[in-house]
Amino acid sequence: MVIQVNERNIMVKYLDSYKDAPWSDDNIVHEGPNVIIYKDGFPVTEGHLLFVPKIVECRRDITRCFEIAYEWGVQGVCDYKWTAFNIGINNGVEAGQSIMWPHVHLIPRRKGDVKDPKRLKGGVRHVVPLKGYYDEEMYGEEADWKESYRKYAMYSQS
């Protein structure tokens, strides 16, 4: 394990193995030769899964996780477990990564799982507040949007 302090004085622990991560063996859903799949310990929706490479030596190790997550996502739709899904990765502290071993999230989606229907359009674009909207119909007049963003920018800098 390597511990570094980044430019914002945040201590970051880079792991040597997926076994060093805080994922519980009780949450293992499936284990293959290259990838292990866990139920997320803090699920965003029911069925939220983590696809974790057992080793990370090349790009293929993480792309394999994306491929398997996509297959599981499609299978969940075909089996009527969910109606849609998001797949993503938080790569680096600024992107929200908190466990410094690569892993891919599969987040099942169902009708009504978001209270604000405007947030449906744009999907993962909403990880950056007020940046997900790209259609004026979704957020009103341009002047209102700019004012909202200005207030957000002021708030986030304090």
Q: What does the pLDDT read at residue 151?
A: 52
What is the per-residue DSSP string for the chain? -EEEE-TTS-EEEE-SSGGGS---GGGEEEE-SSEEEEE-SS-SSTT-EEEEES--SSHHHHHHHHHHHHHHHHHHHHTTS-SEEEEE---SGGGT--SBS--EEEEEE-TTS-S-GGGTTTGGGGGSTT-S--SHHHH--HHHHHHHHHHHHHHHH-
Q: Give me the pLDDT at residue 156, please.
A: 45
Give me 65's structure tokens: 């996780």
Is the Cβ–Cβ distance between 69 and 77 less than 8 Å?
Answer: no
Are β-strands 35-39 and 84-88 bridged in parallel, bridged antiparallel, or unpaired? Answer: unpaired
List the CATH code of the domain at 17-113.
Answer: 3.30.428.10
- Tens digit of pLDDT per residue, the chain (158 long)? 555 555 666 667 788 899 999 999 999 999 999 999 999 999 999 999 999 999 999 999 999 999 999 999 999 999 999 999 999 999 988 888 989 999 999 999 999 888 776 666 667 777 777 667 665 554 454 445 555 555 545 544 44
- Domain ranges across the chain: 17-113, 122-158
pTM exceeds 0.85 for this model: no
**pLDDT of res. 126:** 72
